[in-house]
Amino acid sequence: MRSPKWLVPVAGSAVWAGSWYLMYLEITRWHHVKPSLAFNSDIAPGARPGLPLMVLYAACAASPLFALAGLGRARARR
């Protein structure tokens, strides 16, 4: 069963927007991340970023690539 043509670009764009919104909250509200996108170790000296924050960093970096690749693929199908 094939997925709809619009599914990959829309899902990639949603993850892209959602990950950057969560990064905005991390910087402004929760203060786990500095504005330079570095982990804020001032909140707990010696602390290291946990798995959820590492996944958020990966989603912020990878989701634009998936969104643009899906958009290019959808255009190539036309």
Which contacts (CB < 8 Å, 24+ apart) does range 26-32 have? 26/53, 26/56
> Which pLDDT value is given to residue 69?
87
- 39 DSSP β-pair partners: 33
> Which pLDDT value is given to residue 28?
96
Integer CA distances (angstroms), 75 to 65, 66, 71, in order:
15, 14, 6
| Cα dihedral 71, 62, 11, 28 sign | negative
Is residue 62 scored above 80 in pLDDT? Answer: yes
In whole angstroms, give the CA distance from residue 10 to residue 14. 6
